[in-house]
Chains A and B, each alone.
Chain A
Amino acid sequence: MIYCPICGTANRDGSKFCNECGARLVPQEGVHEKGHTKCPMCGALNPESNEVCSQCGARLKPLVSIPPEELPLEGPAPFIKEAGEVKPEEEDFLARLRETVGEEGPPEAEEVFSPATPEEARQVPVFPEEIIKEIPEEEIPDILASLRAKVREEEALFAEEEEEAPPEEMPRVEIPSWVTGEERPPEEKAEAAPEEAPEEEKPEVKAPPEKPPEVEVFRWPEEEEKPAFAEEEIFKELPAWEEIKPEAEMPPEEELPEWLKEAEEVKPPEEAPPPAEWLKEVELPWLEEEKGVEAPVMAEIPPWLEALRPLEEVPPAAPPRRPIEEAEKEEEGILAGLKGVLKAQGAVAIPERPAFSEVAEVPIKKDLLQSFLKLAYTRSSPPSIKVPSRRRGRRRYWLLYLVLFLAALVPLVVKWPPMPVGSPPSPPEVRDFFEVVEGLPSHSPVLVAFDYEPYMAGEMEAVARPVLTHLKNRGCKVAVISLVPTGPALAQGIWDEIAGSYSYGEDFVNLGYVPGREAGLRALASGLGEAVKYEYVEGKPLDSFPLMQGINKASDWRLVVILAGEPSTILWWIEQVGSLPGVRLAAAVSAGLKPYVMPYYQSGQLEGVIAGVPEAAHYEDLLGSPSYVTSFAPAQALAVLIALLVILAGNLFGGGG
């Protein structure tokens, strides 16, 4: 791990930059590597002869670097020496500017580049004397020694100047009048050299002639990677103004020389100078087109786009201002007797929201939306919604509970006679169920699954009773099984009540609980012994019961009856057992499962369906012995009728409350 020195983020080994802040994690390598120059921008290695990087184009060598052999070892800086000798190969504008300035003769080099005032000389960064003196002479590096020597030379120079002539103001440099804006630039010059005309029109002309042009100074990344030429020569090469004037320290305004103050006062000409002749000859097509255009023409906006334009906001009209003479006179308070007093209400009242102007004939739904927005803006108070009190709402619920309770209870208490449920025809699925059981041969093995929880027993017992009664009457041998742990006990209780006296193991057997849901059912369907090995009551092996002789898989049962209280269990039976060939399924389920099971009945996967107490009553009626379930019918019919009326009344008069 490499930890970032800036943000402390842990980076993987070998990382060069921090993944979090991008800081460099390893020290930058040298720029020069064995005859190659490393680009300071992209890091690519380039031959030493390259001036620019072959990868990114960054300059590898400084523009103004002077070969060491051309640098004089002693004497003034070459710039000072050659200040008045403008070489033709000097290609920056400084040369031209110097040439222009030098019409009246080049300024004296010493006057231009030497510090003019003692104040400027004091700005030279000098080490404190005590520090310099404490260092032994032999330990001072060459750089510092050369610096010290130069500082001493300059101090001596300043001392001589102070002795020879009193300090004067900065010598004024003659600036041509066209630079100061008093006069336009000579056109003959532009005509003589059209390629230089744009250069002369640049505002950089206002720069002081002493200031060097914008020279791209190459900055070496590290001190030890400086080029090979001597550092002393570099310092000698630097002009004096750069040595003694750090850029950050600008002299105060009063110290500015006059020529600089005048240059600051130069203002750009109000009108652009006329284009050069060579520029006039260039014909630009768009300029020709603009000649004939007087004013912009608004483009045609399609109606749909115009319709989307937002409505203009119309500020509320300000009330007409009445003159103070006509204004009401204040009659009360400390301002009594004064006219034109602002009303207190106007100062504290909330300003009205801006109204929206009407836009006619907007063809889309924007009107509706805007009207809603306007309504929301202009509505002073929220709409009053009648919320019934909590006590009143609870009273309504109590009334509903009471009515339903009485509708279920009264028929049981008064023992209303069973309603003639057989008068309407029995549903076909119930008749089919009855026919399937009726068609079973005597002593047929039938598997009955009790797949409901005890909380569903009130309804499911009413459904299971007629089915089990019918099977008993048909002489079928019944085996019960369950996918829920409480199912076997429920089945045992019902069968004991219905069958009365029977031979356990011959007429009836309880196979108990089958775990594993789908997996248990699949095992039961493919091989009974895989799912059930022992019966529920006595725990004996299944082989010991006569009823189970010859029963090995699901298709060995003549019929499988599913008593289900949950949709998942009925689906497991249909999908895992009913899909096997030779298996006949019939379902007696809770009333709420009828929408689930009817598609399977219509597809033929279920041979019969009994759903809920009403259809169980039909089944009892088909059996010809109405007893237990039929006694439910009056209470069931009355309670359902009351519930239906309540729902209807709630939809018609409830108002959604």
Chain B
Amino acid sequence: MGTSGLNPDVIGGWVAFALTLLVFSYLIRDNPLYRLAVHLLVGVAAGYAFVVAYNTIIMRRLVGPLLEDPSQNAALLIPLLLGLLLLSKLLPRLGWFGNISMAFLFGVGAALAIGGGLLGTLWPQLKASTLSVNPARVGFLTSINNFIIVIGTVGSLLYFYFTGTKARSGIAGLGARFLKGWATLGRWMIMVALGAFFATGMIAFISLLIARLRFMLEVLGW
């Protein structure tokens, strides 16, 4: 992107450059310029989302078909009615009408989330945790990797297992100490996982910083 000419892209580039500097001013301290940039971002995002939803959803998929062929698209009156009931939330005395739509939304969303969680996450992950640690079958390195995965998974679960025996001697005491040690190992696994979350998040934000600096250099014609 160059700086020659006064086309909309160039003007937009300079506006973006200025807004980026306003956001960077937060490094000094919170200030009105930074607030201006943040409010602009929120306002533009909300306005853009409304325009998209209005054009692609309300007009194209709801109002348009109803106006074109009401008899064929009579079923669309149901979502239209539910949507209008949501507007009753603006009036405190009639707000309970909106609960019908909210109940429908939350009920369908919860059912889909539970079903998807069971079939898409819980069961596949359980299957994936049943790993072979036999080197002759999966190879030495893979067996070591699988062993660490199994130990770490079970240890992480044991860390959140808060009940147990108070016995300090005998087989029960030995078992309790063993489980406690395993749970300690699981805690270290959790700490490593949280460290990985932090590290990858930091990489992501450094990438964002580099992308923004690169954009500014391009605006400046570097």
A and B physically associate? yes
B 46-73 to A, binary, CB cutoff 8 A, 1 in contact else 0 = 0011001101110011000000000000
Query: Knowing A458-B208, A603-B127 touch, does A643 contact B202 (C-beta < 8 A)?
Result: yes
A11 within 8 A of B: no
Per-residue CB contact flags for chain B residues 8-44 toward chain A (1 = under 8 Å, else 0) read 0000000000000000000100000000000001000
Among the stretches A84-92, A142-150, A378-386, A516-524, the one at the interface with B is: A516-524
Bound-state Cα–Cα, A489 to B45, Å: 12
Determine the residue in chain B with the shortest Cβ distance to A533.
Answer: B61
Contacts of A485 in B (CB 8 A): 48-49, 52-53
Q: Which residue of B lies closest to A457 (CB)?
A: B211
Q: How far is the CA of A59 from the CA of B49 in the complex (A)?
A: 85
Interface residues of B in 168-183 (CB under 8 A from A): none
Cβ contact within 8 Å between B119 and A579: yes
Docked-complex contact A575 and B116, CB < 8 angstroms = yes
Complexed CA–CA distance, A519 and B110 (Å): 10
Q: Out of A533, A575, A632, which one reaches B117, CB within 8 Å?
A: A575
Determine if A515 and B57 form an interchain contact, defined as CB atoms under 8 angstroms apart. yes
CB of B214 within 8 A of chain A? yes
The segment out of A233-241, A259-267, A348-356, A587-595 that lies at the interface is A587-595
- Asked if B81 is at the interface of the complex by the 8 Å CB criterion, the answer is no
Chain A residues, Cβ within 8 Å of B202: 640, 643
In the complex the two chains form, is B120's CB within 8 Å of A574's CB? Answer: yes
A interface residues, how many (CB within 8 angstroms) = 62
> Are B53 and A603 within 8 A (Cβ)?
no
Determine whether the beta carbon of A409 is less than 8 Å from that of B213. Answer: yes
- Which of chain A's residues have a CB closer than 8 A to the CB of B121? 571, 574-575
Does A613 count as interface, using CB distance less than 8 angstroms?
A: yes
Complex Cα–Cα for A574 and B122 (A):
12
Contact (A513, B56) CB under 8 Å given A408-B213, A458-B208, A613-B207: yes
Known contacts A408-B209, A639-B210; A612 and B200 CB within 8 A of each other: yes
Contacting B52 at CB < 8 Å: which of A409, A486, A595? A486
- Inside 8 A of A571's CB, which chain B residues have their CB? 120-121
Asked whether A576 and B116 contact (CB < 8 A) given A515-B53, A591-B200, A599-B128, the answer is: yes
Nearest chain A CB to B64's CB is how many angstroms away?
Answer: 9
A635 an interface residue at 8 Å Cβ cutoff? yes
Q: Which of B27, B61, B112, B209 contacts A518 (CB 8 A)?
A: B112
Instruction: Tell me whether A57 is interfacial, beta carbon within 8 Å.
Output: no
Q: Are B204 and A413 in contact (CB under 8 A)?
A: no
Q: For B96, what are the chain A residues with a Cβ–Cβ distance below 8 Å?
A: none
The answer to whether the Cβ of A56 comes within 8 Å of any Cβ in the partner chain is no
B109 CB contact (under 8 Å) in A404, A518, A592, A632 = A518
Return the contact of B207 from the options A453, A600, A636, A643 (Cβ within 8 A).
A636
Contact between A612 and B203 (Cβ–Cβ < 8 Å)? Answer: yes
Chain B's interface size range is 35 or more
Query: By the criterion CB–CB under 8 Å, are A534 and B203 in contact?
Result: no
> Is A591 a contact of B210 with CB atoms below 8 Å?
no
Docked complex: B108-148 residues within 8 A CB-CB of A = 108-109, 112-113, 116-117, 119-121, 124-125, 127-128
Q: Does A504 contact B (CB under 8 A)?
A: no
Q: Does B217 contact A (CB under 8 A)?
A: yes
Would you call B197 an interface residue if the criterion is a C-beta within 8 Å of the partner chain's C-beta atoms?
yes
Contacts of B193 in A (CB 8 A): 595
**CB <8 Å contact, B112 and A522:** yes
A114 within 8 A of B: no
Question: Measured between alpha carbons, how far is A600 from B45 in the docked complex, in Å?
Answer: 32
Decide: A603 near B124, CB < 8 A? Known: A458-B211, A518-B116, A534-B61.
yes
Tell me, in angstroms, the Cα distance from A512 to B52 when the chains sit together. 9
**Once the chains are docked, how many angstroms separate the CA of A512 from the CA of B211?**
26
Q: A592–B201 contact, CB under 8 A? A: yes
Choice from B109, B197, B207 contacting A462 with Cβ under 8 Å: B207
Of B108, B196, B204, which is within 8 A of A519 by CB? B108
Contact pattern, A 634-650, Cβ under 8 Å of B = 1, otherwise 0: 01100110010000000
A536 interfacial contact with B, CB 8 Å: yes
Does B212 reach chain A (CB closer than 8 Å)? yes
Main secondary structure of the interface of B (DSSP, over half): helix
* Bound: A520/B8 CA distance, A: 35
Q: Is the C-beta of B100 less than 8 angstroms from some C-beta in chain A?
A: no
Question: Is A401 touching B208 in the complex (CB atoms < 8 A)?
Answer: no
CA A142 – CA B52 in complex, angstroms?
Answer: 100
Q: Does B206 contact A (CB under 8 A)?
A: yes
Give the contacts of A350-386 with B (CB-CB under 8 A): none
Contacts of A461 in B (CB 8 A): 211
For the complex, give the distance between the alpha carbons of A536 and B52 in Å: 9
Known: A485-B52, A519-B109, A533-B60. A592 touches B120 (CB 8 A): no
Contacts of B48 on A, CB cut-off 8 Å?
485-486, 489
Say if the beta carbon of A605 comes within 8 Å of chain B: yes
In whole angstroms, how far apart are the Cα atoms of A575 and B121 in the complex?
A: 7
Report the bound CA distance from A334 to B201 in whole Å: 78
Q: Are B112 and A612 in contact (CB under 8 A)?
A: no
Q: How far is the CA of A488 from the CA of B103 in the complex (A)?
A: 30
Residue of A nearest to B206 (CB): A639
Determine which of B108, B124, B203, B207 lies in contact with A458 in the assembled complex, contact meaning CB atoms within 8 Å. B207
A556 to B108, CA, bound (A): 26
How far does the alpha carbon of A401 sit from the alpha carbon of B117 in the complex, in Å?
Answer: 41
Query: Is A614 on the interface with B (CB-CB < 8 A)?
Result: yes
Quick one: given A454-B45, A612-B200, are A459 and B211 in contact (CB under 8 Å)?
Answer: yes
Indicate if B222 sits at the interface (CB-CB under 8 A): yes
A125: interface (CB < 8 Å): no
How far in angstroms is the closest Cβ of chain A from B181?
22
Please measure, in the bound complex, the distance between the C-alpha atom of A459 and the C-alpha atom of B202, giving whole angstroms: 12
Query: Which residue of A408, A457, A518 contacts B206 across the interface (Cβ within 8 Å)?
Result: A408
Decide if A77 is an interface residue (CB 8 Å cutoff). no
A605 partner residues in chain B, CB cutoff 8 A? 120, 124
In the assembled complex, the Cα of A534 lies from the Cα of B49 at a distance in Å of: 18
A485 to B49, CA, bound (A): 5
Q: Is the CB of B49 within 8 A of A486?
A: yes
Known contacts A412-B217, A534-B56, A574-B120; A592 and B125 CB within 8 A of each other: no
Q: Which A residues touch B159, using CB under 8 A?
A: none
Residues of A contacting B119 in the complex (Cβ-Cβ under 8 angstroms): 575, 579
A residues 482-525 touching B (CB-CB < 8 Å): 485-486, 488-489, 512-513, 515, 517-519, 522
Say how far B45's CB is from chain A's closest CB, in angstroms: 7
Pairwise interchain contact A512-B56, C-beta atoms closer than 8 A = yes
Which B residues touch A454, using CB under 8 A? 45
- B97 contacts the other chain (CB 8 A): no
What are the residues of chain B within 8 A of A632 when measuring CB–CB?
Answer: 207, 210-211, 214
In the bound complex, what is the Cα–Cα distance between A458 and B212 (angstroms)? 7
- Does any Cβ of B come within 8 Å of A604's Cβ? yes
CA A575 to CA B113, docked complex, whole Å: 8
Which of A408, A456, A594 lies in contact with B200, CB distance below 8 A?
A594
Residues of A near B112 (CB, < 8 A) are 518-519, 522, 576
Contact status of A576 and B109, CB under 8 A, knowing A485-B49, A533-B61, A595-B200: no
Known: A458-B207, A485-B52. 20 other contacts (CB 8 A): A398-B27, A401-B27, A412-B210, A412-B213, A412-B214, A454-B45, A455-B208, A462-B207, A462-B211, A486-B45, A489-B48, A518-B112, A539-B60, A571-B120, A591-B200, A591-B204, A592-B197, A592-B203, A640-B206, A643-B206
Q: Closest 4 CB pairs between A and B?
A: A458-B211, A575-B120, A575-B116, A603-B128
Interface CB pairs A-B, < 8 A, 15 = A412-B217, A485-B53, A512-B56, A513-B57, A518-B109, A534-B56, A574-B121, A579-B124, A591-B201, A591-B203, A591-B207, A592-B200, A604-B124, A639-B206, A639-B209
